């Protein structure tokens, strides 16, 4: 087999870029937490790099991809346990991956997705959760929620366009057995963002608010970290989206341009809302706009034209800027707005594909403006709803099981004196900035 070394080189680079997103996320979240909790916030991401990295090798790939699908929901975890039989064949040759390079590179790419998706959830749980409970949750959640979602959408399961999928049942299949209208989730609007976003909402409800939430100021302690983190996320996201072309080709370039177009427009959208509503365009708003745009374009990066991406990004920026205020009105402590940014942005991106995709969407037909029908929109809404319900129910079951056994919350005293000190035996800063002048206890 003659490998395409250009594709192989790009996909190894893309995998490395996506892995860098998780430390980037740790900075993004760490800066938004208070000085007494920043280490725990960052450790939730680094802990996931450990636990999910190990689990992916053992049964993660096997549950996501393979030939022994269980009801189109997940693949047999023991088919290629420990990556047996998926690296090289009986003759000792590398098994081919998705793009004329060895499959082991696809495995590298996918493990990084499992890590960042699980780490995203931690933003809803800032400053109050036992590190042990979080690590147990991460291992169970990635197994019962993430791998099945990856299988359903990307592994030929229920939410793909393959034979036996929901789309195939609704719209019929063509001569190759592919659904006539297949759902579009280019890089993970459902698998990554709706999945993590609904999990964050469910956990925030089950675990409850931080002591003093809504009463004492819980403002970000270091927005320079947050902005650096947002920049690293954007950089890493090129691996995420352009890498999802599985080749170093025009589609990868298209996804790159769409990613940047949507993100740029989302920054402006978010800042416009702030300037009009609050009077100032803030640095936190710019960093948040970056992430909102990146989230929304994730499922759409290979399906929209660049102008459509600008429209999608602007809508996502505005929608998420308003959505982050909901937690105060509804009274749940989604500490760092995983719901407002990832759930809302993921839904906006996944559903707007039905209006903006260049082929067969409501506004486009064969690449040109014009009525293209509602089938794409219908299947986009369906996969979004299935993802919401599936992940929501699974997460709720895991959350109440952990609540009833090891328990989620650290003690009140620990929460007031600071989770860094009590859970990790460390503090990030010396002196007054360490935030020991706690006010929650009053």
Partner 1 sequence: MKLVTAVIQPHRLDDVKSALEAAGVRGMTVSEASGYGRQHGHTEVYRGAEYTVDLIPKVRLEVLVAAETAATVVDAIVQAATSGKIGDGKVWVVPVDDVVRVRTGEHGAGAL
Count Cβ atoms within 10 A of the Cβ of residue 93 and give its class: 0-12 exposed, 13-18 middle, 19 or more buried: exposed
Minimum distance, C-beta of residue 296 to partner 1, in the bound complex (Å) = 17
Minimum distance, C-beta of residue 371 to partner 1, in the bound complex (Å) = 37
Q: Within a 13 Å sphere around the CA of 295, how many CA atoms are in the beta-carbon half? A: 35
Closer of 58 and 284 to partner 1 (Cβ): 284
Closer of 19 and 324 to partner 1 (Cβ): 324
Q: Does 217 bind partner 1 (CB under 8 A)?
A: yes
CA neighbor of 153 nearest in space, from 414, 386, 311 = 386
Q: Does 93 bind partner 1 (CB under 8 A)?
A: no
Closer of 245 and 286 to partner 1 (Cβ): 286
Output the CA–CA distances (angstroms, integers) from residue 419 to 38, 43, 51, 383, in the order listed.
9, 11, 21, 38
Using CB under 8 A, which of the segments 4-12, 127-135, 214-222, 416-424 binds partner 1?
A: 214-222
Closer of 404 and 437 to partner 1 (Cβ): 437
Closer of 328 and 371 to partner 1 (Cβ): 328
Residues binding partner 1: what is the number (CB under 8 A)?
Answer: 19
Q: Which of residues 305-364 bind partner 1 (CB under 8 A)?
A: 321-322, 324-325, 328, 337, 340
Q: Does 284 bind partner 1 (CB under 8 A)?
A: yes
Closer of 226 and 380 to partner 1 (Cβ): 226
Count Cβ atoms within 10 A of the Cβ of residue 73 and give its class: 0-12 exposed, 13-18 middle, 19 or more buried: middle
Closer of 92 and 217 to partner 1 (Cβ): 217
Closer of 11 and 273 to partner 1 (Cβ): 273
Minimum distance, C-beta of residue 337 to partner 1, in the bound complex (Å) = 6
Q: Does 78 bind partner 1 (CB under 8 A)?
A: no
Q: Does 219 bind partner 1 (CB under 8 A)?
A: yes
Minimum distance, C-beta of residue 38 to partner 1, in the bound complex (Å) = 16
Among residues 278, 359, 412, 426, which is the contact residue for partner 1, using CB under 8 A? 278
Q: Which of residues 228-247 bind partner 1 (CB under 8 A)?
A: none
Using CB under 8 A, which of the segments 37-45, 53-61, 281-289, 307-315 binds partner 1?
A: 281-289
Minimum distance, C-beta of residue 43 to partner 1, in the bound complex (Å) = 23
Output the CA–CA distances (angstroms, integers) from residue 277 to 86, 321, 335, in the order listed.
54, 10, 21
Q: Does 423 bind partner 1 (CB under 8 A)?
A: no
Q: Which of residues 258-277 bind partner 1 (CB under 8 A)?
A: 274, 277
Among residues 288, 335, 361, 391, which is the contact residue for partner 1, using CB under 8 A? 288
Minimum distance, C-beta of residue 378 to partner 1, in the bound complex (Å) = 34
Among residues 47, 183, 285, 372, which is the contact residue for partner 1, using CB under 8 A? 285
User: CA–CA separation, 316 vs 344, rounded Å?
Assistant: 8
Closer of 323 and 398 to partner 1 (Cβ): 323
Binding site for partner 1 (CB under 8 A): 217, 219-220, 274, 277-280, 282, 284-285, 288, 321-322, 324-325, 328, 337, 340
């Amino acid at each position: 087999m003659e490998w395409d070394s250009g594709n192989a080189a790009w996909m190894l680079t893309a995998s490395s870029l996506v892995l860098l997103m998780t430390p980037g996320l740790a900075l993004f979240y760490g800066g938004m937490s208070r000085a007494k909790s920043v280490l725990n916030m960052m450790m939730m991401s680094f802990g996931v790099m450990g636990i999910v990295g190990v689990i992916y090798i053992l049964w993660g790939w096997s549950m996501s991809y393979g030939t022994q699908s269980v009801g189109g929901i997940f693949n047999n975890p023991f088919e290629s346990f420990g990556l047996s039989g998926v690296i090289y064949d009986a003759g000792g040759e590398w098994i081919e991956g998705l793009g004329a390079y060895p499959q082991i590179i696809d495995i590298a790419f996918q493990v990084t997705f499992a890590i960042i998706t699980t780490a995203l959830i931690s933003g809803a749980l800032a400053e109050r959760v036992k590190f042990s409970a979080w690590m147990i949750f991460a291992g169970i959640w990635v197994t019962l929620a993430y791998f099945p979602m990856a299988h359903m959408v990307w592994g030929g399961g229920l939410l793909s366009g393959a034979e036996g999928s929901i789309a195939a049942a609704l719209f019929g299949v063509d001569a190759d057995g592919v659904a006539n209208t297949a759902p579009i989730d280019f890089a993970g609007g459902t698998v990554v963002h709706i999945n993590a976003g609904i999990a964050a909402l469910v956990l925030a409800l089950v675990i409850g608010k931080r002591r003093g939430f809504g009463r004492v100021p819980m403002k970000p302690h270091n927005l320079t970290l947050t902005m650096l983190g947002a920049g690293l996320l954007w950089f890493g996201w090129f691996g995420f989206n352009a890498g999802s072309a599985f080749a170093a080709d025009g589609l990868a370039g298209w996804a790159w341009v769409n990613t940047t177009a949507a993100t740029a427009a989302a920054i402006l959208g978010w800042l416009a809302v702030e300037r009009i509503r609050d009077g100032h365009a803030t640095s936190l708003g710019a960093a948040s706009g970056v992430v909102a745009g990146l989230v929304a374009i994730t499922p759409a990066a290979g399906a929209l034209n660049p102008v459509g991406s600008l429209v999608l990004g602007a809508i996502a920026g505005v929608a998420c800027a308003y959505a982050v205020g909901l937690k105060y009105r509804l009274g749940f402590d989604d500490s760092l707005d995983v719901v407002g940014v990832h759930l809302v942005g993921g839904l906006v991106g996944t559903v707007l594909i039905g209006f903006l995709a260049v082929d067969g969407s409501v506004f486009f037909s064969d690449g040109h403006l014009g009525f293209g029908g509602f089938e794409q929109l219908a299947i986009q809404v369906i996969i979004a709803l299935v993802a919401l319900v599936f992940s929501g129910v699974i997460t709720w079951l895991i959350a109440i099981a952990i609540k009833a056994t090891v328990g989620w919350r650290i003690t009140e005293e620990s929460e007031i004196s600071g989770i860094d000190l009590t859970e990790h035996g460390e503090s990030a800063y010396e002196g007054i900035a360490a935030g020991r002048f706690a006010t929650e206890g009053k």
